[in-house]
Structures are given as structure tokens and as C-alpha cells.
């Protein structure tokens, strides 16, 4: 048991999940953690039957986790059997068109984030900017102004004392403020605690296809106040997504077509990563099966898969029972529908073990087959539970209320959620994503970084006789094996990385899973840097045509700068570099011009002065707001050495690369970004003064690029930001 845990999984568990003493030292092993969770969740058996022996169920739950077959979402792993006891990852809160409702939701958001959850909102009911406010004879400030209030509150409240929450903000495409919403995150310094998505209606999509206009509706009055070209608005959505990765899109009418309990209201919002449409005050109870462990001797072990599904459904239904909800309204609504979301991780690994390339029709067929089995088995398991425990309370009038399904314990049973952190624990690829890369830099227990090949690729390389240190170095440098001559073509195709997969195939895989998933599918469609706005537009259309409930895209490098695809330079081969000879720095100029910026650090306010002369940056001074002590002396030394480097001809961008990401025990936050240390603060000021054009395409330190925990590069996956080096996830 637990033998599957890799060294990196142990790092993640130690850092985020294991109980710790007052000094931060773990006081439980991974086996203890799985036992704690199993015991806590199995205790629900006695709720349904006070005389029940929960022991066998506890062993069953322990077994699927300790063997790496199934893991619940992170809050359940962290909090089950502990004082907090909040086991749900995400929630949806209503935002009605009144100050009372808005600030009630703001308070509830803070409570949820404090408990470790994320929140989703629709701001579509708020009257538009400059609309009438009858009670004061004034005008409304509009949805975006209130989103900024929620964003600021999120910045202030740490989740469970460890990190800030994640939010999803949704606005209907027919809201009068839609154009401002679409471009809200073009400025990368705003709404950093929000993912945003536009809710596209069927009527709007029809107008796009017909190149027609559509109406903007004031939600306060219900009146059409103006009209816009649907194609032009659709193009603007694609343009912003191309530039920054946001907004995503959700097809709101399709979500409501599959709303399992329409009598309880319409779905208007989702959780932060978009895979869980929820009614107001509902929460999601999620877990994932490791598909890579369902393959035995080159074939799927269907019996093992079915058995694991049945155990997982019972586990998740029990979670609903023992969960300590942050609000009574959430407990009431979650128990009324008892929605669970069983999903998968390790799909890319499963394909490799089956010898199926991700970029193939066979992969889509495999997705349909495996998810079809999970969906059927989960419904059968839910029906079996209902015969003993009863149907979910909102069963009457639900989509399950028909003669052929007289029993159903859960309104939904399947969801494909992001699995960034739990997939590292399970040693599986993330969700249904292709491999992000075939080699990584991993953070190991002593804090050092080591290169690591994907274990299945390493085995293929050793079995094929082409493994070498040079191969490891080249794969690590490139991330992909596509252009490495030593790798056979068949192996290249089998181990295609995310950016090697055509965007349309990403959608095809997502659609295959969606056809057998009650809720939605969290996935990021990756584009190369040279993709066009039209490529994104066509992808959104394809997603609608393929039956998706939503889609998120990310164009490589889009948040940092526009770069060209890799290819042969028109200027010919590079010139041979000459070795530079040592030289003294140029003299300090008699007069300089510059600016001083205050930046908050864990040691206090740091004042960074950047001065220039006619040749560029010439000197940097860094001074703490309070004088004396090690921090002040070290920041003074940092400034002197930077000044020496600048006057010696060292590029300021190179200085930034050396300093940015250095972490101390006391990070701070300023302007929606984390300041990891005093050197990191100096680097952030320098980078701001330089501008993005001074950095090359490999720089990972852009606004979305660097892990706040370990400094490695973040990746866009499953609608979220995750770190493959240390397990950090912004959303879970």
C-alpha cells in the first residue's frame, strides 16, 4: 500500500496535505492520511444505519486511495477527519441586483475562501453601468466595478490560512456591458483572482452563423436597449482570448438543456474551472479515477474499473453526508440534489500503455468507451444506493423522474475536473490532458531540483536502446520529442506533448468525454504562439458544433508577449560569438534621472530607486523603510551589485532573470501579485521599468508564468494554472 507514491508525490503530500505539529513538521505518514480520510468518510455509514459496521467500508475506501486507484478532491484529502471538516472544492453564489445581495455574497465568499473553497458567480443580473438607481436618483457602476470589489476581497482573505481563493465570473453575452467585460482582463494587472467566461446563448450563436445582429437586454427592465453585430462580438471574444487566454466561453443554453433539476431554477454560473455548472448555493463533491492503473497487460481491466467506480460513488455520496458546510444555505441545497462528480486522471498515460497516440481517432474512441463505462457504472451504483438510502430529495420533477429510473441517489454522477495536484500524488497525467512535456524539473524532498523523464518514455527509451544523458538533456530543453532525431517516429507520435496536438483534436477528445459526462469537462485547448485570432474563432465555433458546454484556450506565450513560431531565421546562421574580456565598469555619471517605487515585502516596505543615464540603466538603490538589521544591509548590497553589473554592460533583463523568483520565508502581496523576497521585489521593479520587449520567449516570469511556491514555470491546464514541479495549483 502507498508504494506507488513517487518522491515528488511525497513532497506534495508533505507540503500541503499531511497533518503538522506547531513547528510545521508532519505528524502523519501518507498511509495515515489515507486512513484518516477513509475512517472519516466511512463514518457516514452509521448515519444511514446506526448499527452498521463501518469497518469493511473504511477498508474499501482506504484500499482505493492507498493503491492509487481513486483520489477525492484536495479539500477532502486535506480536511476529512480534521477540525475544519470542509470537504468541497467549489461553490456557486447568487449575485442579485441589490447592494444587500451583492455584499451578502461578498461576505459569504470570504467565509468560503477561508474554509478552502473557490467560488463562481454570474454577474448578469446586475444593472449595467450608468443605469438608473431609483432609490438614490443616481447611476449604477455596473458589474465590472463590483467584480473588482470581489477581487480585492479575495486578495485579502487567505484560503484556510495558506492561499487565496479562485473565482469564476460569468456575464451573459446579451448584457449591455458585455464589450467591457470581454476586454476586462486585457489589462493583466486587474481581476487576477478571477477566471472570466462569457455565457453564449443559442440565439447569439445562431446570429453569428447568419452574420446578423442580436439584442442587448437590460436585466433591470428586461428591455432590449441596443443591438450589436453577433459576428463582431464573437470576433472580439476570440481576439481577447488569443491575446490573454481569457475570456473562456460557456454555452449556457446547452448547460440548461442538461440541467438535472430544472424546477429548482436555471443554471447561470459554474465553479472556477468551468466543469461544474451549479445552482446558487450548491457545492460540488468531486473525485477522480486514475485510468493509468486500470490498464493490465496492455488492455483495460474493465472489472477493476467497474469496481473502483462503485466504491468511488459510495465514497462521494458519503462525503455529502459528513461534510461541514460553510453556510446553512449551501448545506440545504447540496443535500437537496446530492450532485457528485466522478472524473478521471491519467488518460494520456492510459493511451500510452494501450499504444494509442493522443492525436488519433482511436484515442477519441477510447475516450468514449472508457467514459461510457464510468457513466453507466456510476448511475447503476447511485441507483443501488438510492434503494437503500432513498432518492435525492429534489428527485421529483428532475430529469431522472421517469419509470425506467425509479431510483437515483445523486442528481449528477460524472464530471471531468482538473486534477493538477492529486494527479501528482497519484503519479498520473493531469485529467484528460495530453502530456504537458516529456521531461520536467522536479522539486525533491531536500529542496533541490532534478530533471525527470516521464517514466513511460524512459522505459521506451531504455527498451528501444536510445536512452542517453544527451537525450535527457535535449528532451528537458525542448519539452517535446518531436524534433529529436534519436527518437523513433512511432515513439514520437505516442509521446506527443500538449503543444504538438492540433487544437481541433483537443476539442475532439473533450467532446468524446462530454458525451458521457453529466456536468462539464475541464480542459485547456493549447495553441502555438503563431496561431491567429481566426484560429481561435474557428475553434470556438467547433466547440459549439461538437456539443461542448464550454471551452478555454491558451496560446503559448500570449500573456507575456507575441512571439513567432520556431523556425529558420531569414537572417541566416548566427555569427560565432567571441569571448568577452574582463573590464572595469563605466564610471558613475555625474547626473542621472530615475524614479523611486515602494513595494511591499515580508520584511516591510522596500524603496527601490532605478536611475538611468544616456546609455541606459546605470544604478539601483534599495532601502528598507526601517533602517538597520540584516535585511537593510543585504538590500543595500543587492543594489550595489546590480549597479556594478549594469555599468559593466550586463543586460538588465539578465539581472532580472537571476533575481526574480528568489523566495524567503515571509512572502507578501501587492497589487494582486506575490512578492517572494526582497531580491524578488527589486527584480519586479526592474522588470516593470524595462517592459516585456526586453525579455525573450523562454522567460517564465511573466504575469501568469511563475509558480509562487517554487519559482518554476506554471502551465495552463484544465482551465487553471498548475505547477508540474511542486504540485501548486491556483484552483484546487
Average pLDDT per block of 10 residues along the chain, 732 residues long: 85 91 94 98 96 96 98 96 93 96 96 90 96 79 95 76 76 98 89 95 98 97 97 98 95 98 98 95 96 97 98 98 97 98 98 98 98 98 98 97 96 95 93 90 60 89 94 86 94 94 96 98 92 97 98 82 38 36 65 84 86 80 72 83 85 83 76 78 84 43 54 72 73 60
For residue 361, count other CB atoms closer than 10 A to its CB.
11
Looking at 8, 73, 195, 273, which residue is catalytic?
273
The CA–CA distances, whole Å, from 262 to 240, 396, 398 equal 33, 11, 7
DSSP 251-273: EHHHHHHT-S-GGG----EE-TT
pLDDT at 700: 37
Q: Which of 271, 323, 519, 611 is catalytic?
A: 271
Tens-place pLDDT, residues 414-469: 999 999 889 999 999 999 999 988 987 765 555 556 677 899 999 999 999 999 98
Integer CA distances (angstroms), 681 to 415, 624, 670, in order: 40, 11, 10
Cα angle 517-518-519, degrees, rounded to a multiple of 5: 95
**Confidence at residue 704, expressed as pLDDT on a 0 to 100 scale:** 47
User: Grid coordinates in use for 581?
Assistant: 574580456
Residue 273 appears among annotated catalytic residues = yes
d(CA 720, CA 610): 35
Which residues, at least 6 apart from 557, have a Cβ–Cβ distance to it below 8 Å? 529, 563, 697
What the chain holds in terms of domains, given with CATH numbers, is 18-58+67-85+283-418 (no CATH), 90-270 (3.20.70.20), 454-496 (no CATH), 593-696 (3.30.390)
Secondary element (H or E) of residue 66: helix 55-66
Residue 726 annotated among the catalytic residues of the structure: no
Positions of E strands within 408-567 = 439-443, 449-453, 524-527, 550-555
pLDDT at res. 699: 39
Angle at 658 between CA 420 and CA 469, to 5 degrees: 65
In the residue annotation, 246 being an active-site residue is answered as no
Torsional sign, CA 7, 13, 14, 16:
positive
Q: What is the structure's pLDDT at 442?
A: 65
pLDDT in tens, 169-208: 999 999 999 999 999 998 877 898 999 999 999 999 999 9
Q: What is the Cα–Cα distance from 54 to 49, expressed in whole angstroms? A: 10
Catalytic residue among 246, 275, 433, 452: 275
Three-class secondary structure of residue 651 per DSSP? coil
Q: What is the pLDDT of residue 656?
A: 85
Judge whether 708 and 674 are in contact, CB under 8 Å.
yes
Q: How far apart are the C-alpha atoms of 524 and 419, rounded to whole Å?
A: 13
Amino acid at each position: 500500500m502507498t508504494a506507488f507514491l513517487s518522491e515528488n508525490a511525497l513532497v506534495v503530500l508533505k507540503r500541503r496535505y499531511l497533518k503538522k505539529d506547531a513547528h510545521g513538521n508532519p505528524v502523519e505518514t501518507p498511509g495515515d492520511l489515507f486512513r484518516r480520510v477513509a475512517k472519516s468518510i466511512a463514518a457516514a455509514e452509521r448515519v444511514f444505519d446506526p448499527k452498521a459496521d463501518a469497518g469493511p467500508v473504511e477498508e474499501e475506501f482506504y484500499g482505493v486511495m492507498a493503491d492509487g486507484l481513486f483520489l477525492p478532491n484536495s479539500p477532502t484529502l486535506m480536511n476529512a477527519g480534521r477540525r475544519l471538516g470542509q470537504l468541497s472544492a467549489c461553490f456557486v453564489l447568487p449575485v442579485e441586483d441589490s447592494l444587500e445581495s451583492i455584499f451578502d455574497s461578498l461576505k459569504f465568499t470570504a467565509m468560503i475562501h477561508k474554509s478552502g473553497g473557490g467560488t463562481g458567480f454570474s454577474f448578469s443580473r446586475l444593472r449595467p453601468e450608468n443605469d438608473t438607481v431609483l432609490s438614490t436618483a443616481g447611476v449604477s457602476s455596473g458589474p465590472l466595478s463590483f467584480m473588482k470589489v470581489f477581487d480585492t476581497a479575495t486578495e485579502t482573505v487567505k484560503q484556510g490560512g495558506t492561499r487565496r481563493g479562485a473565482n469564476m465570473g460569468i456575464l451573459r453575452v446579451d448584457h449591455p456591458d458585455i464589450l467591457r467585460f470581454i476586454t476586462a482582463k486585457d489589462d493583466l494587472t486587474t481581476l487576477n483572482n478571477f477566471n472570466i467566461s462569457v455565457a453564449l446563448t443559442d440565439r447569439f450563436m445562431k446570429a453569428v452563423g447568419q452574420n446578423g445582429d442580436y439584442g442587448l437586454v437590460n436585466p433591470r427592465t428586461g428591455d432590449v436597449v441596443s443591438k450589436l453585430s453577433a459576428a463582431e462580438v464573437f470576433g472580439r471574444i476570440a481576439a481577447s482570448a488569443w491575446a490573454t487566454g481569457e475570456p473562456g466561453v460557456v454555452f449556457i443554453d446547452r448547460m440548461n438543456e442538461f440541467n438535472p433539476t430544472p424546477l429548482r431554477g436555471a443554471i447561470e454560473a459554474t465553479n472556477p474551472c468551468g466543469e461544474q455548472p451549479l445552482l446558487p448555493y450548491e457545492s460540488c463533491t468531486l473525485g477522480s479515477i486514475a485510468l493509468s492503473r486500470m490498464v493490465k497487460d496492455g488492455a483495460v481491466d474493465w472489472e477493476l474499473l467497474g469496481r473502483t467506480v462503485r466504491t468511488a460513488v459510495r465514497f462521494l455520496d458519503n462525503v455529502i453526508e459528513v461534510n461541514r458546510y460553510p453556510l446553512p444555505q449551501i448545506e440545504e441545497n447540496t443535500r437537496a440534489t446530492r450532485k457528485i462528480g466522478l472524473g478521471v486522471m491519467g488518460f494520456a498515460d492510459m493511451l500510452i500503455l494501450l499504444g494509442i497516440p493522443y492525436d488519433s481517432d482511436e484515442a477519441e474512441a477510447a475516450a468514449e468507451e472508457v467514459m461510457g463505462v464510468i457513466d453507466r457504472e456510476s448511475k447503476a451504483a447511485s441507483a443501488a444506493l438510492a434503494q437503500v438510502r432513498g432518492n435525492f430529495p429534489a428527485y421529483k420533477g428532475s430529469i431522472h423522474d421517469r419509470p425506467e429510473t425509479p431510483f437515483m441517489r445523486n442528481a449528477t454522477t460524472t464530471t471531468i475536473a482538473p486534477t493538477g495536484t492529486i494527479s501528482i500524488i497519484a503519479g498520473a497525467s493531469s485529467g484528460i490532458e495530453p502530456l504537458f512535456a516529456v521531461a520536467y524539473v522536479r522539486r525533491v524532498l531536500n529542496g533541490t531540483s532534478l530533471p525527470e523523464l516521464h517514466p513511460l518514455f524512459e522505459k521506451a527509451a531504455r527498451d528501444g536502446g536510445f536512452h542517453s544523458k544527451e537525450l535527457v538533456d535535449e528532451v528537458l530543453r525542448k519539452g517535446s520529442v518531436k524534433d529529436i532525431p534519436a527518437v523513433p517516429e512511432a515513439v514520437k507520435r505516442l509521446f506527443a506533448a500538449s503543444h504538438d496536438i492540433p487544437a481541433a483534436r483537443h476539442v475532439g477528445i473533450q467532446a468524446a468525454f462530454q458525451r458521457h459526462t453529466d456536468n462539464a469537462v475541464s480542459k485547456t485547448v493549447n495553441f502555438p504562439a503563431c496561431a491567429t485570432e481566426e484560429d481561435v474563432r474557428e475553434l470556438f465555433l467547433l466547440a459549439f458544433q461538437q456539443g461542448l458546454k464550454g471551452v478555454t484556450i491558451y496560446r503559448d506565450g500570449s500573456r507575456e508577449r507575441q512571439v513567432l513560431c520556431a523556425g529558420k531565421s531569414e537572417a541566416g546562421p548566427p555569427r560565432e560569438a567571441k569571448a568577452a574580456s574582463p573590464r572595469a565598469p563605466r564610471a558613475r555619471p555625474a547626473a542621472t534621472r530615475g524614479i523611486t517605487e515602494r513595494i511591499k515585502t515580508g520584511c516591510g516596505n522596500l524603496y527601490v530607486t532605478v536611475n538611468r543615464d544616456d546609455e541606459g540603466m546605470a544604478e539601483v538603490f534599495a532601502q528598507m523603510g526601517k533602517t538597520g538589521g540584516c535585511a537593510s544591509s543585504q538590500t543595500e548590497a543587492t543594489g550595489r551589485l546590480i549597479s556594478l553589473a549594469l555599468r559593466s554592460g550586463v543586460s538588465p533583463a539578465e539581472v532580472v532573470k537571476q533575481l526574480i523568483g528568489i523566495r524567503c520565508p515571509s512572502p507578501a502581496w501587492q497589487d494582486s501579485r506575490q512578492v517572494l523576497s526582497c531580491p524578488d521585489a527589486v527584480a519586479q521593479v526592474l522588470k516593470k521599468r524595462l517592459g516585456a520587449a526586453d525579455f525573450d520567449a523562454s522567460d517564465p516570469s511573466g504575469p501568469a508564468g511563475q509558480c509562487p511556491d517554487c519559482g518554476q514555470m506554471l502551465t495552463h491546464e484544465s482551465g487553471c494554472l498548475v505547477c508540474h514541479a511542486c504540485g501548486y495549483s491556483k484552483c484546487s
